[in-house]
Structure 1
Amino acid sequence: MNEVPLFSVENKSVFITGASRGIGKALAIGFAKAGAKVICASSKAGGTAQTLAEIESFGGQAFAVHADLANTEEVETMLGAILAEHKTIDVLINNGGTISRFPAAEYPLHEFKKVIDVNVNSAFLISQILGKKMIEQGHGKIINIASMLSYSGGLTVPAYTASKHAIAGLTKALANEWAKLNVQVNAIAPGYFATDNTQALRDNPERNQSIKNRIPAGKWGEAEQLVGAAIFLASPSSQYVNGHILAVDGGWLAS
C-alpha cells in the first residue's frame, strides 16, 4: 500500500489571501515549491502578478483571483469563481490583513471598522463558505494567521490587536465544531517578522533595537521561515491537531 508522506501537500489546492507580498507571497511560493496548486488572492486585479511570475519561473502551478476583503459582495463573488473553477479546496490560509497606527484616544472609528472587516469578518466569511465545501468533500485544513498581538496589547494598534485576539478565538471556535468532520482549523502566530506591516517599527531605531533585544534569536524573522510551519498544518502530519495556535517567534513568548 502506498502511503501519503506525512508532510506532503503535493497536488493539494491551496487558497491564500494576501498573497501579493510579505508572508502571503512567501507561503504561496513555498507551497508551490512543495507541489501544491496555489490560488493567490490580492485586493486588486493583477496584485499577485509578481507572485505568479516567480512560481511559474520554477514550473509551479498558480492562479490569481482578487477581492477587497472589506467588501462582502466582492469576497463572495471571488469565492464563487474559485469553487466553479476548482473541484476541491484542500487548504485555506487566511493571511490577508491590514493595520493602522493611531493612539487609542485618537483612533478613527472608520479605521477601526476597516481593520475588523478585513482581518476578522472576511476570515470568518471565507472560512464559512470554503469550510462548507471542505465538510462536503470530507476533509480540509484551515490555517489562520494570528500574531504576537493575539497574546498581548501592543501600542497604537488597538484595532489590529482586537482583530488578532478575535482570530485566535475564531480558530478555536471553528475547530470545536469541525474537528469531528475531518476539517482541522489551526493558526500560526508569527513573531516579529520583516514585512510591510512592521516597517514603521523597524524604521524606529529605539523600537527596532528593543524588539531585537527581547527576541532570544536576536533578529527579526523572514517570511520564508513560516513556510515549514504552514506545510505542517496543511499536511497529514497535523491530522490530530485542532484549535492550536502555533507560535513561530524566535522565542519571543519564552523571554
Structure 2
Amino acid sequence: MESQKIAVVTGAGGTLCSEMARDLARSGYRVALLGRSLDKLQIVEKQIVDAGGIAISVSTDVSNEESVRAAGDVVERELGICSVLINGAGGNQMDALTNTTEFDERELLDDGSVKGFFNLNMAVFQSVIDVNTMGTVIPSFVFGRGMARQKQGVIINIASMNSFRPLTKVGAYGIAKAGIANFTQWLAAYLAPAGIRVNAIAPGFFLNDRSRKIMFDQDGAKTARAENVLSHTPQRRFGEAAELLGCMNWLINEEAAGFVTGIIVPVDGGFLSNAGV
C-alpha cells in the first residue's frame, strides 16, 4: 500500500545515504532524513521536494536512545509507520586512526612522532564504536517496533569490507563493522517471525568527504593508501554512490528478495576476491 511506503534513512546527509534517500523518494517513498547536521539533511530534503517527492529532516543522534525515540515520534506523526529502515549513520574519525600499519617503538614515547595503537585517544576510539554499533542497534530498536506491529518491514544495515577482514589503521571502525555483520544476522533470525527482513550492504571503497582526505593529497594526487586500495580492487577504481542502489532496491523488493534475510552483500569492485598476491 502507498501509505506503507515510508522510509527512514540515517546518515542521510552523507554521500552514500543521500543517494539512497533520493532514490527511495523517486520510487514513491516518503522519506525521513535523520542525522546530526540539520543543514546537510535539509539540502537533501530540498532536492527530494524539488523533484516532486516527500521528505522531512530530523536532527538525531543515532547513538542516543532518547534522541532516536524523539525522532521516531516525529516520523510517525508526520509520515506514518516506517516500512524501510536504512541504517547508514556511522563513519570514522581521524583521531581513531593510526598513521602506521604496525607497531613502532616510537609510539611508546608519546612525542607525536608516530600515532600508533598505544597513543590513540581511547575516548575517540570508543566513540567510533558507539556511533557505528549502537547507531545501528538503537534505530532498529525504535523503528523496528512499528514494523513488528505491522508484521512487515525491511531493515538494511551498512556494513563494510572491515566486516569481512581487518584493514590496517582502522581498528575501531573494524570492530564496529564486524559487529554490524554479526548483528545483522542475529537480528534477521530474531525478527523473521515478525515478518521483518534484515540484511546489510557492504560497500567497498567509495569516496566521500572523509575518505577523499585519506585517498588524495591537497593537489589531487592519489595517496599511497589510495594506490594500495586500487591495486587490491580488480576493477581498479572507487565505487560511485549510485552503484549501491541496485542492491538496495533488490533487498527491499518483496517479490525479488522476499526469501532473503540475514545476508551481507559486498559491493566492492572485487576487493574481497583479491588477496593481493
Q: For the residues of structure 2 that align with 1:186 and 1:41, how far apart are their CA atoms? A: 20
| 1:68-217 pair list within 5 angstroms | 68-100=61-93, 101-102=97-98, 103-203=116-216, 205-217=223-235
Question: 1:127 and 1:83, CA in 2 relative to 1: closer, same or farther beyond 3 A?
Answer: same
Q: For the residues of structure 2 that align with 1:122 and 1:194, how far apart are their CA atoms? A: 21
Q: For the residues of structure 2 that align with 1:202 and 1:17, how far apart are their CA atoms? A: 25
Provide, for residues 49-89 of structure 1, a one-character-per-residue CA deviation record: whole Å limited to 9, x for no partner: 11112112221221111112233322221122222333321
One-letter code of the match for 1:157? V
- Counterpart in 2 of 1:25? 18
Q: For the residues of structure 1 that align with 2:158 and 2:238, how far apart are their CA atoms? A: 17
- Counterpart in 2 of 1:246? 265
One-letter code of the match for 1:108? N
Q: For the residues of structure 1 that align with 2:174 and 2:248, how far apart are their CA atoms? A: 22
CA contact 1:30–1:227 (8 Å) conserved in 2: yes
TM-superposed deviation, 1:98:
2.4
Is residue 2:41 matched to residue 1:48? yes
Q: Which one is further off, 165-174 or 93-102?
A: 93-102
**SS of equivalent residue, structure 1 residue 92:** strand
Q: For the residues of structure 2 that align with 1:171 and 1:250, how far apart are their CA atoms? A: 22
Between the two proteins, the alignment pairs up a number of residues equal to: 248
Question: 1:121 and 1:86, CA in 2 relative to 1: closer, same or farther beyond 3 A?
Answer: same
Question: 1:167 and 1:181, CA in 2 relative to 1: closer, same or farther beyond 3 A?
Answer: same
TM-superposed deviation, 1:10:
9.7
TM-superposed deviation, 1:234:
1.3
Q: For the residues of structure 1 that align with 2:241 and 2:153, how far apart are their CA atoms? A: 24
Question: 1:70 and 1:183, CA in 2 relative to 1: closer, same or farther beyond 3 A?
Answer: closer
Which runs of no fewer than 5 residues in structure 1 stay unpaired? none
- Counterpart in 2 of 1:226? 244
**SS of equivalent residue, structure 2 residue 39:** coil
CA contact 1:44–1:68 (8 Å) conserved in 2: no
**Identity value in percent:** 31
CA contact 1:195–1:223 (8 Å) conserved in 2: no
User: CA-atom RMSD, angstroms?
Assistant: 1.8
Which runs of no fewer than 5 residues in structure 2 stay unpaired? 99-115, 217-221
**SS of equivalent residue, structure 1 residue 46:** helix
Q: Which one is further off, 52-61 or 137-146?
A: 52-61
With a CA cutoff of 8 Å and minimum separation of 6, indicate the structure with the bigger relative contact order: 1
Q: For the residues of structure 1 that align with 2:57 and 2:127, how far apart are their CA atoms? A: 24
- Structure 1 moving runs of 4+ over 4 Å: none
Q: For the residues of structure 1 that align with 2:257 and 2:39, how far apart are their CA atoms? A: 33
Q: For the residues of structure 2 that align with 1:164 and 1:123, how far apart are their CA atoms? A: 10
**TM-score, normalised with respect to structure 2:** 0.84
CA contact 2:158–2:202 (8 Å) conserved in 1: yes
Question: 1:58 and 1:85, CA in 2 relative to 1: closer, same or farther beyond 3 A?
Answer: closer
Larger Rg: 2
One-letter code of the match for 1:218? R
Q: For the residues of structure 2 that align with 1:226 and 1:139, how far apart are their CA atoms? A: 23
One-letter code of the match for 1:253? L
**SS of equivalent residue, structure 1 residue 59:** coil
Provide, for residues 14-48 of structure 1, a one-character-per-residue CA deviation record: whole Å limited to 9, x for no partner: 10001112111111111112222111112033331
**TM-score, normalised with respect to structure 1:** 0.91
Is residue 2:77 matched to residue 1:59? no
CA contact 1:42–1:65 (8 Å) conserved in 2: yes
One-letter code of the match for 1:84? R
